[in-house]
């Protein structure tokens, strides 16, 4: 079977039904056209050689049958190569190549080829994003490289490896038919008196067959000659991909022709001899020496690397989604590019996040992280569980910090909270109950931890619903959007997050003590058990802190708002001092992500005590603005969502500021209008990715807050396929046109031509 | 090969796989992205990795070059009704062999000592370069995306 590896040419099985799809039923009907074609070709030519050629060779020259023989041999050789050669079948991707994409990846990924956006579709059968010009043949059930078409006459796909032979087969067959017809005509013309003889009858029959087949074959040959000259495949021509547009795969007529005819035989992917790995990998392993910048980046961005990477992936996902004009596919087909897969040449902006400030406003940095859902999901659930398990003493703060010893938290409600800042010091991990704080070893600034985010996200969703009762909480919205987006496929998010969200909610809206208090009792019993990572802490910005400190007094008197006291400046200073040492290894200071120096202290607040305050912080900030508009809650919610994994505190703050500005400018209705930016992003992603329950969950949770609050001009996503009630938008969007803007990681805005 | 659990536990276990995707910015020619993935940031120097990928890209460009040798190969194949493919190795296959040797050498010299392994892209249909990251017992959990297996390589 498979041809020897030496021969790049004579490949092996006909269209690899055995290797690529082991369990294919035998369908005899597939072999009818190829059998008929073979019969006609061989039969007619044999008759021609037997009945017509002897006389021709005697009459004219022996070169006639030799010429015809050579042409016929050429036809046969190309016919056999086209029939039996592997067209360029891609082997199925390994499980680990797509293990994280299984139910979250977008259906399309976009790449830019010579300035033209080309979509790569996810192949659910083969489990990878189809390279450009690759297509999945339903007859053969394989993805074929440079897929041209499936030819029934050879019962094989025509792809990169055998297109040349197919083309030459057509050419030679045309020549052969012309030769047979011509010489047959010659014979008949010389035997007009003996047409009743067998030889003449046979010759005439052969001529009829030849003449009959000449028209379609010549037509097909001419068609393919044009295709070769233009550098297109049949698939592209028939589907009109480049109709009126530019073909990014063409190199000019001459180069196209030479590529088809003169390029080296492409290698086979299936049935190769696999060299066993003879290299032994044994620890101890060498480690690279980190340069100073790398060290700095590491310190600052502890964990952001992964997040940025994730964000990159999610950015690409967003882009591909934005490019996708089709309605979102059903959930099983949705794919998230693997984190590691996300790299695309054009997304180099992502990496810049590591080392320098993003070029675009940080508000665009908020992107749901589409990291491995499995991992994050469990982490999130766990986070929420921890959160709820937090001691009831801190009603005001969601027990997001699973790490902290319950005793610490329970240190007496709010009062304890005030003192906690330093003490609690959940060493980096998680800052106490502040949602969005990374749990466990990952000390990402607030939003960086995917687990935190996801948990936050989940909670956020439910949060918003509870919070909504009060003032519109942008932050809540954001978080909820984030959450729901992150978990489109995670169905079991609701119960735990709800608790967490409740607590989170209360944290977010300190000003709404009544709401909070009503919610608090619900929370206390259950929530504080779950150590929810407090991602929000990372977002605590000086701005927010300042705002919160204003509210401090009001909050202080509220039992639920006790945590707010923590945010008060005096406490904060103390808190900051104490938490500072922690912040460095627990959460990378947001400065890494955002160059804003004032934000540096923000992560410090993320310490145990700070988390408590965080939700209040947002509230307090909102309160002053309430009269004018619905000030965006704060960047707090976003961190909760998984998507905010890489948002640093600075980013959160920036976003908050922008949101606030936007809402302020919008003048009202801004309930979380500003915050909508991230949320919209999230929603956008969510909708583009899922058409299942997550969307509904988003709509249910997000619609209310979002609908009234779109004062800011968030252009609706051009992708009308996403019927997001919440008006999924990204701030950077430009409606309509042939260009979609998608905000990507680090706030970069990408323009994708539709 | 391993005869007891002790030995099994001593071998490093696969932590994660990093995939280097194709760079399609210049069309469908075989090129891989040179961008350094963040997961490898702590495992290997950027320059080493980028050199490897750049060299691979050069090899592939050489394999796909349409020039005199490939033209002669095509004519010869045509003339012999493609029977020549039974005896002769095509240019692409020759370069693939070179690439395979290069990857083997890189693995032995550079990647295996760092707990990494490159997989020949041709095994994946030339869509990705698969970099297997093995768990280093001293660094569990350092890579954010690594699903560190519980198996610990004890020494």
Looking at residue A278, its pLDDT comes to 74
A698: confidence class by pLDDT, cuts 50, 70, 90 = very low
A701-715 pLDDT tens trace: 434 444 444 444 334
Q: Is A694 within 8 Å of A683 (Cβ atoms)?
A: no
A742: confidence class by pLDDT, cuts 50, 70, 90 = low
- Closest to A457 (Cα-Cα) out of A647, A651, A688, A632: A647
**Is A151 one of the annotated active-site residues of the chain?**
yes
Q: At what angle do helices B68-79 and A253-262 cross, to 10 degrees?
A: 50
CA dihedral over A438, A390, A459, A569, signed as positive or negative: negative
The proportion of chain A whose per-residue pLDDT surpasses 70, expressed as a percent, equals 34
**Contacts A2 to B, Cβ<8 Å:** none
Looking at residue B94, its pLDDT comes to 92
Cβ neighbour number for residue B6 with a 10 Å cutoff: 9
A164 pLDDT more than 90: yes
A179-207 pLDDT tens trace: 999 999 999 999 888 888 888 999 999 99
A638-659 pLDDT tens trace: 444 444 444 455 555 555 555 5
Q: Cβ of A285 and B115 within 8 Å?
A: yes
- Whether chain A has a CB inside 8 Å of the CB on B104: the answer is yes
Q: What are phi and psi of A117, to 5 degrees?
A: -80, 125
Q: At what angle do helices A542-556 and A649-666 cross, to 10 degrees?
A: 70
Q: Nearest chain B residue to A113 by CA: give it.
A: B25
A529 pLDDT more than 80: no
Rounded to whole angstroms, the Cα distance separating A431 from A408 reads: 12
Q: Cβ of B100 and A275 within 8 Å?
A: yes
**Contacts A74 to B, Cβ<8 Å:** 78, 81
Q: How far is B124 from chain A (nearest CA, A)?
A: 7
Q: Cβ of B141 and A113 within 8 Å?
A: no
Which range, of A45-54, A121-130, A561-570, averages the lowest pLDDT?
A561-570
- Report the DSSP beta bridge partners of residue A119: A110
B17-48 pLDDT tens trace: 889 999 999 888 999 999 898 888 888 889 98
Of A146, A278, A280, the CB nearest to B28: A146
- The two beta strands, B14-21 and B128-134, are antiparallel
A362: confidence class by pLDDT, cuts 50, 70, 90 = very low
Which range, of A9-23, A142-156, A287-301, averages the lowest pLDDT?
A9-23
**B42: Cβ–Cβ under 8 A, 6 or more apart, which residues?**
A287, A288, A290, B139, B142, B143
A149: confidence class by pLDDT, cuts 50, 70, 90 = very high
Of B91, B125, B128, the CB nearest to A264: B91
- Whether chain A has a CB inside 8 Å of the CB on B117: the answer is yes
- Closest to A64 (Cα-Cα) out of A79, A54, A74: A54
Rounded to whole angstroms, the Cα distance separating A545 from A459 reads: 23
A392 pLDDT more than 80: no
**A443: Cβ–Cβ under 8 A, 6 or more apart, which residues?**
A302, A303, A427, A428, A429, A430, A437, A449, A582, A583, A585, A586, A587, A588
Of A8, A73, A262, the CB nearest to B81: A73
A401 pLDDT more than 70: no
N-terminal to C-terminal alpha carbon distance within chain B: 18
B51 pLDDT more than 50: yes
A373 pLDDT more than 50: no
Higher pLDDT, A58 or A376: A58
Rounded to whole angstroms, the Cα distance separating A331 from A301 reads: 33
What b/e string do you get for B11-48 counting C-beta neighbours within 10 Å, with b at 16 or more?
Answer: ebbbbbbbbbbbbbbebbbbbbbbbbbbbbbbbbbeeb
Q: Could you say which residues from 18 to 57 on chain B have a Cβ atom under 8 Å away from some Cβ of chain A?
A: 18-28, 33, 35-39, 41-45
A102: confidence class by pLDDT, cuts 50, 70, 90 = low
Coil vs helix vs strand at A238: helix
- Whether chain A has a CB inside 8 Å of the CB on B89: the answer is yes
- Closest to A595 (Cα-Cα) out of A354, A274, A279: A354
Catalytic annotation, pick one of A123, A134, A143, A151: A151
Three-state secondary structure readout of A636-687: CHHHHCHHHHHCCHHHHHHHHHHHHHHHHHHCCCCCCCCCHHHHHHHHHHHH
Looking at residue B112, its pLDDT comes to 87
Q: How far is B3 from chain A (nearest CA, A)?
A: 17
């Amino acid at each position: 079977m498979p041809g020897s590896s030496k021969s790049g040419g004579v490949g092996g099985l006909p269209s690899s039904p055995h290797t690529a799809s082991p369990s294919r039923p035998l369908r005899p009907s597939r072999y009818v056209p190829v059998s008929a074609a073979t019969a006609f070709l061989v039969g007619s030519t044999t008759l021609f050689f037997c009945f017509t050629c002897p006389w021709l060779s005697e009459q004219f020259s022996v070169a006639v049958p030799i010429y015809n023989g050579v042409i016929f041999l050429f036809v046969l050789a190309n016919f056999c190569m086209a029939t039996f050669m592997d067209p360029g079948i891609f082997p199925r991707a390994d499980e680990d190549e797509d293990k994280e994409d299984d139910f979250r990846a977008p259906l399309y990924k976009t790449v830019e080829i010579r300035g033209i956006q080309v979509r790569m579709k996810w192949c659910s059968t083969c489990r990878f994003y189809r390279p450009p010009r690759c297509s999945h043949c339903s007859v053969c059930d394989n993805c074929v490289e440079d897929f041209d078409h499936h030819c029934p006459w050879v019962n094989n796909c025509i792809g990169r490896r055998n297109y040349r032979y197919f083309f030459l087969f057509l050419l030679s067959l045309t020549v052969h038919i012309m030769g047979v017809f011509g010489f047959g005509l010659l014979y008949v013309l010389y035997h007009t008196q003996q047409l009743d003889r067998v030889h003449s009858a046979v010759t005439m029959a052969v001529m009829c067959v030849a003449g009959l087949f000449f028209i379609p074959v010549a037509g097909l040959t001419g068609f393919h000659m044009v295709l070769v000259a233009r550098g297109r495949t049949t698939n592209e021509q028939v589907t009109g991909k480049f109709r009126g547009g530019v073909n990014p795969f063409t190199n000019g007529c001459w180069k196209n022709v030479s590529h088809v005819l003169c390029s080296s035989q492409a290698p086979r992917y299936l049935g190769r001899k696999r060299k066993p790995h003879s290299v032994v990998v044994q620890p101890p392993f060498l480690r690279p020496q980190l340069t100073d910048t790398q060290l700095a980046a590491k310190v600052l961005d502890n964990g952001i690397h992964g997040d940025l990477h994730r964000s990159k992936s999610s950015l690409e996902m967003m882009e591909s989604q934005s490019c996708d004009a089709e309605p979102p596919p059903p959930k099983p087909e949705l794919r998230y590019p693997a984190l590691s897969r996300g790299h695309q040449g054009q997304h180099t902006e992502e990496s810049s996040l590591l080392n320098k400030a993003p070029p675009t406003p940080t508000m665009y940095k908020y992107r749901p992280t589409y990291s491995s859902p499995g991992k994050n999901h469990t982490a999130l659930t766990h986070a929420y569980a921890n959160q709820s398990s937090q001691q009831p003493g801190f009603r005001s703060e969601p027990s997001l910090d699973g790490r902290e010893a319950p005793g610490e938290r329970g240190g007496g409600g709010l009062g304890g909270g005030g003192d906690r800042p330093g003490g609690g010091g959940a060493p980096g991990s998680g800052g106490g109950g502040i949602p969005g704080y990374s749990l466990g070893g990952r000390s990402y600034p607030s939003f960086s931890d995917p687990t935190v985010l996801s948990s936050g996200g989940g909670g956020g969703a439910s949060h918003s619903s509870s919070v909504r009762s009060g003032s519109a909480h942008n932050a809540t919205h954001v978080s909820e959007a984030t959450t729901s987006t992150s978990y489109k496929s995670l169905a079991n998010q609701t119960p735990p997050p709800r608790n967490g969200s409740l607590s989170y909610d209360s944290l977010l809206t300190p000003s709404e003590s009544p709401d909070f208090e009503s919610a608090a009792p619900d929370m206390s019993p259950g929530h504080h058990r779950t150590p929810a990572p407090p991602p929000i802490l990372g977002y605590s910005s000086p701005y927010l802190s300042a705002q919160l400190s204003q509210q401090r007094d009001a909050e202080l008197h509220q039992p639920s708002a006790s945590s707010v006291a923590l945010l008060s400046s005096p406490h904060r200073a103390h808190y900051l001092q104490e938490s500072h040492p922690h912040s460095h290894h627990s959460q990378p200071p947001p400065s890494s992500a955002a160059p804003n120096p004032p934000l540096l202290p923000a992560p410090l607040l993320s310490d145990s005590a700070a988390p408590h305050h965080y939700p209040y912080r947002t509230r307090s900030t909102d309160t002053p603005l309430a009269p004018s508009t619905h000030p965006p809650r704060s960047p707090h919610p976003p961190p909760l969502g998984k998507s905010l994994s890489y948002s640093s505190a600075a980013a959160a703050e920036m976003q908050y500021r922008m949101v606030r500005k936007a809402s302020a400018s919008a003048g009202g209705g801004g309930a979380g209008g500003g915050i909508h930016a991230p949320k919209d992003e999230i929603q956008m992603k969510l909708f583009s990715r899922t058409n299942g329950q997550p969307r509904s969950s988003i709509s249910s949770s997000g619609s209310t807050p979002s609908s009234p609050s779109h004062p800011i001009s968030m252009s609706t996503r051009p992708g009308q396929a996403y019927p997001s009630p919440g008006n999924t938008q990204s701030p950077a969007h430009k409606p309509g046109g042939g260009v979609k803007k998608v905000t990507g990681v680090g706030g970069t805005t990408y323009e994708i031509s539709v | 090969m391993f005869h007891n659990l002790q030995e099994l536990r001593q071998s490093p276990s696969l932590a994660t796989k990093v995939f280097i995707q194709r760079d399609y910015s210049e069309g469908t020619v075989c090129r891989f992205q040179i961008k350094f993935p963040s997961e490898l940031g702590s495992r290997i120097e950027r320059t080493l990795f980028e050199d490897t990928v750049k060299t691979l890209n050069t090899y592939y460009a050489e394999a796909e070059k349409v020039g005199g040798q490939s033209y002669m190969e095509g004519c010869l194949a045509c003339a012999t009704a493609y029977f020549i493919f039974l005896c002769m190795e095509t240019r692409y296959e020759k370069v693939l062999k070179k690439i395979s040797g290069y990857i083997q050498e890189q693995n032995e010299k550079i990647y295996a000592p760092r707990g990494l392994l490159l997989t020949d892209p041709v095994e994946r249909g030339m869509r990705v370069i698969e970099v297997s990251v093995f768990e280093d017992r001293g660094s569990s959990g350092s890579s954010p995306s690594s699903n560190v297996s519980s198996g610990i390589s004890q020494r």
